[in-house]
Structure 1
Amino acid sequence: MARIAPVLALVGAALPLTAAPPAAAADDTVVLETEIARAPEPLPDRGSDLELAAFARQVDALVLEAARDLGLRVGPKPETAPSDRSDLAASASEEWLVSPRVFRDAGGFVVELRVVPPRSRVVYARTQRVHPETLEIRLMTTMRDLVEAARGRDARRSEGERARRPAVVTEPARSPGRAVLAFHGALLGGFAGYSIQEASGSNDARLTYPLAALGAGIGLGGSMLVAEEWDISVADAWYLSAGIFWPSLSGWLLADSYDVADEDRYAYALVSAAGGLSLAAIGAGTARVGEGSAALAHSGGAFGTLLGGLAELFVEGTTGITPRRGMGYGAGAGVLVAGALALHLDPSAARVLLVDLGASLGALTGAAAASPLLLVEPTADQPTRTRLWLAGIAAGTFAGGAIALWATRTADTKPTTSTTPIPEVGLVSVTELGPVFGAALRGTW
């Protein structure tokens, strides 16, 4: 036994010396020095070799930084680089192999980046023309794409892992116009309660506020039931609000202009609102209502009120009265006509707002341009001057709206294809290597 002990000791000491070297980690990486290659075609002006060498050193630094950002452990450069980099797959090892290559052509600097994964004979490469100012972002993106493709994350994902990621089904919100509908429903209900109190001829505050609150609650609850039963969009809700507000305003103004008793004016407004809401509901239920349709309905009510008031003042020949009758007829007719047209035109909301802006500015311009007609001493022809001033406002309204409508005519046009060649100068195409500038003819032959 004493003789065997020294032998065992010698064998134990020799085992570490004969053991296999540790295997390289999966993320160990060898980054070769950037190779400066010759252009595929000779250039009339090759530029400075020093500039190309400086560009290559910049590529070296950025490739190292990109590799570290991707979690790769970059080791020292090999003492002897592969003699023939055209066949990097033959140099496959237990480590990542990254080989940059740069050259110049007529368009500038060209960078080729090649990546070989560990224990693989597949080379992942990308060649692209790079401007020095965008070199960093282009190299970082290219390095990330090549490494992720080499790792094959999507291809190696197991079916079990895919099954553990359940699909998420997102359903659109039902009745997104619920809040708008609830707001106007509560207003209509509160107005109905107040109208009932006024129609009764009683001024008892102990009944006014409870009736208004009760009506608002009923209107709110009714709007919630409607939103639950039907899918009410925001455009639908605003379209219905146009059927409530402008007809009620029309009914109240007409009742006031015809000297209806005070307690009955609110009843006229309430009946008009109910009729307008019914028509709006029929329209929204039988046709698609967009945001532009709702905006057009409100626009018709507003400009109908304006033009109706101008018409009454024009007939009377004075601006010293409140044109309630003209405004009432204008509000009702305007919202009715515009609401019907909106169901067939379906314009964009932006275009409707721009046309409204143009008409408003046109009315203001017409009033300003015709204002000298009013800056005179009162004479016998004062009504005529007033009518001319009012006509200037109306003409400016129509002119401004027409100009805005013409200026925004391309907002709702559909793109058309033309077979006629069209000349183009500037940016004519975009490729993987970058934008292409020049002149071209685009068309169908």
Structure 2
Amino acid sequence: MRVRTWLATALLAIAPLMASAERSAFAADSPSGSVVMWPTLTPAGDQPGSAPLHKPSDAETGIFSRSQELDATLRDASQDLGYTLHVTDTGPVSGKMRDSDMIDRAAHEGAAGATAGTWVVSPRLEAAGDNQFVLRIVAVAPKSRELRVRVEIVKGSDVAVRGLVMLRDLLSPAAAAQAAAIERERARVDESARERLMMPLRSQGRAVLAINGALFGGYVAFSVQRASGNDDPRVLYPLLALGTGIGIGTALLVSEEWDVGTGDAWFLAGGAWWGAGAGLLIANGRDTQPFSDRYSWGAAGGVIGLTLATVALTRSKADEGDAVLTHSGGGLGLVLGGLTEMAIRGSQPDVTPNYGAGIGAAIGVVGAGTLASFVRVSPSRVMLVDLGLGVGALAAAASASPLLFETPVSERRARAFSLLTGAGTLLGGGIAWFLTRNMPREPALSRATTRANTGMSMTPTGGVIGTSVTATGVVPAYGVGITGRF
């Protein structure tokens, strides 16, 4: 008996402390703001019905008394939860009880003229038979366009109690935080879905890389065979097959391991082929002997160019604009390098300036490839600038052609012709660059991923391109081609 008395006394002593701690914790986490509590409406509105929303009248005996009890409970509960109740707002008038009206009211001024908006709560009640009611509470957060709803079927004696619990779940900070977390997760999922839809397929440049890898592998094998001094075709053809196979296999392995876009593939091809071309031209300009060693110069130049392009791609991805810029730089360097050699030596126009063209091609492709790693330009603009360069070169050459009328052409006239043609080339390119300065850039993803574009996208294709119906059945048609858009 004494133990029971001691326990009862202890509980009575601890109860005020627990209540005080609970009030302190609630006050620390209680929300701030205002709330507009609409009077209870009927029907609940959770299913289609012919009766419009309205306030229960005295004639609706069962619902009227429960709605009065529910209104009083919810008004007191909202203030206990820490909200400021709009006592002057008596609720909507007839015809202004739609969900959109709640959203509009939530966007208006809060308590004491605050412009942060106010909560709007609308309880709904509808008889469900057998002394049961459909209790539905709709709440709108300040300046929100989202409805928060709780629906339950409760007994008549539990309407006020369940309404209190449902209101607390709707307005409590934990519920608000949970709703915000759900909204953030939904937005994250939607963003992830959009990124998956926008993300292009992996290694779109696989075909381009494989074709160029096969050709470059075959060229390297041919160079090795020629440099060895062996002209036996029984050695040449196996080496060509081996080199082509190694090139294709390497390209497929690279495209499987890394995401190689179309721009990446053409960028690598530019480094390899312009490097090989520069090596051959330099060897020809130096008159390298024996003649077969010149192929080795081309292979070495191609390997160096491919290595530099690979290093550049490890720092950033390349799109079609970067690839076109790289090839354009190699071509421009080839022309300007040849014109520079002709101007220095005073060579005749019918003499091929191999050495200057090779040096210029090497400098041009390296410079343009480096520039492509730092700038973003559309393929269309690069090609328009190339058109300006070509038109400028032709116009200048045509204007300076009288310098070549005499026979033989003096070194002075030959130098003047080369300098005027080079100046016209640069002038035409500069004018084209200036005229295209306001061209819109294509939309692109981050350089950390594959950059999408709406400009030129050309992809070589090969294999079965169609079928033909014959007397013996369907026969495939093989071919090669280029698909894409410009």
- 2: CA distance, partners of 1:197 / 1:377: 44
Once the two structures are TM-superposed, the CA of residue 259 in structure 1 deviates from its matched residue by: 2.1
Match of 1:337 in 2: 367
Name the amino acid aligned to 2:270. A
- 2: CA distance, partners of 1:273 / 1:239: 13
Name the amino acid aligned to 2:357. M
- 2: CA distance, partners of 1:399 / 1:203: 48
> Taking every aligned residue pair, what percent have the same amino acid on both sides?
46
- 2: CA distance, partners of 1:246 / 1:361: 23
The answer to whether residue 240 in structure 2 is matched with residue 212 in structure 1 is yes
Once the two structures are TM-superposed, the CA of residue 292 in structure 1 deviates from its matched residue by: 1.0
Match of 1:274 in 2: 303
CA RMSD of aligned residues (A): 2.0
- 2: CA distance, partners of 1:303 / 1:186: 27
Match of 1:298 in 2: 327
| Equivalent residues of 2:397, 2:420 under 8 A apart | yes
| Equivalent residues of 1:355, 1:405 under 8 A apart | yes
| Equivalent residues of 1:367, 1:393 under 8 A apart | yes
Match of 1:155 in 2: none
Name the amino acid aligned to 1:394. G
- 2: CA distance, partners of 1:287 / 1:184: 21
The answer to whether residue 274 in structure 2 is matched with residue 239 in structure 1 is no
Match of 1:409 in 2: 437
In structure 2, the residue corresponding to 1:370 is in which secondary structure? helix
In structure 1, the residue corresponding to 2:374 is in which secondary structure? helix
In structure 1, the residue corresponding to 2:260 is in which secondary structure? coil
Q: Which runs of 4+ in 1 moved over 4 A?
A: 167-171, 412-415
Once the two structures are TM-superposed, the CA of residue 396 in structure 1 deviates from its matched residue by: 0.8
User: Taking structure 1 as reference, are residues 385 and 339 closer, same or farther at Cα in structure 2, changes over 3 Å only?
Assistant: same
Once the two structures are TM-superposed, the CA of residue 256 in structure 1 deviates from its matched residue by: 1.8
Once the two structures are TM-superposed, the CA of residue 195 in structure 1 deviates from its matched residue by: 1.0
Moved more, 317-326 or 180-189: 317-326
Task: Output the TM-score relative to the length of structure 1.
Answer: 0.53
In structure 1, the residue corresponding to 2:243 is in which secondary structure? helix
In structure 2, the residue corresponding to 1:409 is in which secondary structure? coil
Match of 2:412 in 1: 384
Task: Output the TM-score relative to the length of structure 2.
Answer: 0.49
Partner deviation per Cα, 1:51-78 (whole Å, 9 max, x = no partner): xxxxxxxxxxxxxxxxxxxxxxxxxxxx
Name the amino acid aligned to 1:185. G
User: Taking structure 1 as reference, are residues 377 and 243 closer, same or farther at Cα in structure 2, changes over 3 Å only?
Assistant: closer
The answer to whether residue 359 in structure 2 is matched with residue 324 in structure 1 is no
Once the two structures are TM-superposed, the CA of residue 172 in structure 1 deviates from its matched residue by: 3.5
- 2: CA distance, partners of 1:302 / 1:333: 10
| Equivalent residues of 2:322, 2:373 under 8 A apart | yes
Unaligned runs of 5+ in 1: 1-166, 416-445
Once the two structures are TM-superposed, the CA of residue 320 in structure 1 deviates from its matched residue by: 3.5
The answer to whether residue 213 in structure 2 is matched with residue 185 in structure 1 is yes
Partner deviation per Cα, 1:18-50 (whole Å, 9 max, x = no partner): xxxxxxxxxxxxxxxxxxxxxxxxxxxxxxxxx
- 1: CA distance, partners of 2:281 / 2:407: 33
Match of 2:318 in 1: 289
Once the two structures are TM-superposed, the CA of residue 377 in structure 1 deviates from its matched residue by: 4.8
In structure 2, the residue corresponding to 1:262 is in which secondary structure? coil
Aligned residue pairs, count: 247
| Equivalent residues of 2:377, 2:441 under 8 A apart | no
- 1: CA distance, partners of 2:222 / 2:381: 38
Once the two structures are TM-superposed, the CA of residue 188 in structure 1 deviates from its matched residue by: 0.9
Once the two structures are TM-superposed, the CA of residue 275 in structure 1 deviates from its matched residue by: 1.1
* 1:372 paired residue among 379, 402, 422: 402
User: Taking structure 1 as reference, are residues 378 and 270 closer, same or farther at Cα in structure 2, changes over 3 Å only?
Assistant: closer
